[in-house]
Chains A and B, each alone.
Chain A
């Protein structure tokens, strides 16, 4: 692994521009619990544009190699950071990847094997972060544990990896291109404006400049 450049920096702005409301995918009315053998009402839009939030779908470019610690308190959010729509809260057909992620979390929480068990507060935090990632339609990460006090979410795209370590007080991110560190940032969870800003903020730190993120 190449040496990390220890450049401390601050960035002035992370611009999150609301692209208007997301028009959710099917179904629209959310979860409507039904009983067997009674009519179930589904509302579908004739054609619904997909929610285009898969921010980490962009490839990690090997062009930037800055590192350092970023304090998110110094980020300035534009006035358009309001989310004007409430995310569709339930997709009856949860992706298999998120189903697997949820079951893995449950297994880690209930495990009696000290090598695999995570503490209850970490389970709750990881579950919450995963729920937020799912609500924002980010692709489901893989899950690893880092002892009982933290979990690691991992996204892989070819030789590029993003590790997100979630502990009780901090979220830290490590972006790798092959063996080379692209960025390493750490956020104090108490100062993070919200989970929806997390991955764009990491990308901004990696690039060392404001990024434009479409949210809705």
Chain B
């Protein structure tokens, strides 16, 4: 049986109006969200590129990214501690992931995180992955996760993708509907590390006349992937904090129920960690 784990969670706010939202600082957004200065900050090197603030919280890499037309809060595995074997990292405790995203939603409702109202399109993205030894195994893993009636027999086909969306109306936020876009796919993952190597000249002594150079290392994996992209369509409606929060929380509920329904059984994602409450 496959072991499904959480790879990434992201809350996004996008603009759907032709008027740009007021300028906001990604540093301010990071501090509002995680209550501390980021460990890494990169200002936009180009007006059309994002600015990013990043740190590590509860063993996960967290980041706030800002473009003129969107803001993203992402949660990914902590890759700051290198491993010798270039193993692929996951968010091992999925309850922590869900808890963190839920906490961000609550903070938005409480106006602790100030996202401009003109970014009135809300999106939540969650990806679960099961690493498999080969393509055939990955195809089998993704096939098992596809609801009856949608999938067929897969063997060694490459580049399998199944994707569709279902829209749902929310009682708490009647002014917009929620598109629930689910994608089943087999993907190739690469862990890339750039390290500095030190060598010795031929016949020399260790440490004498060292040769240095950048030695990129790459390790590839194949995995089955199921991702949920829950988002509201472009609209002229203004969404206030409570409404945005309700949409985010409902998206998390939908992803939680769906991953159980599809047999992923991601450990912990059906509950919120106590630390995040």
Contact = CB atoms under 8 A, between A and B. Distances in A.
Interface of A: 20-21, 23, 28-48, 81-86, 89-90, 94, 98-99, 101-103, 105-106, 109, 124-125, 127-132, 134-135, 171, 189-190, 192-196, 198
Nearest to A104: B47
Contact of B18 (A34, A38, A82, A192): A192
B161 A23 contact: yes
Interface in B11-66: 12, 14-20, 23, 40, 42, 46-50, 52, 54, 63, 65
Given A33-B40, A38-B81, A102 B191 contact: no
Given A29-B8, A41-B88, A128-B20, A84 B188 contact: no
Contacts of B15: 128, 132
Interface stretch (B107-115, B178-186, B237-245, B262-270): B178-186
> For B54, B63, B68, B74, which residue has the most chain A Cβ atoms within 10 angstroms?
B68
A83 B233 contact: yes
Contact of B80 (A20, A38, A129, A130): A38
Given A21-B229, A85-B181, A132-B69, 18 more contacts: A20-B164, A30-B72, A30-B74, A31-B52, A34-B79, A37-B196, A39-B86, A42-B191, A44-B188, A48-B159, A89-B12, A98-B48, A103-B47, A105-B48, A130-B48, A131-B69, A193-B16, A194-B18
Given A39-B191, A84-B231, A90-B50, A46 B181 contact: no
Contacts of B100: none
Nearest to A120: B23
A47 B20 contact: no
Contact of B233 (A40, A45, A82, A106): A82
B198 to A, nearest CB: 13
Contact of B49 (A43, A48, A102): A102
Nearest to B165: A84
Contacts of B187: 28, 43-46
B99 to A, nearest CB: 21
A120 to B, nearest CB: 10
A37 B195 contact: yes
A59 B143 CA distance: 43
Nearest to A28: B187
A203 to B, nearest CB: 17
Interface in B193-209: 193-196
B125 interface: yes
Contacts of B49: 90, 94, 102
Contact of A39 (B10, B65, B79, B121): B79
Given A89-B67, A193-B236, A84 B189 contact: no
Contacts of B79: 34, 38-41
Contacts of B134: none
Contacts of B83: 39
B80 A35 contact: yes
Contacts of A94: 46, 48-49
> For A33, A102, A189, A195, which residue has the most chain B Cβ atoms within 10 angstroms?
A33
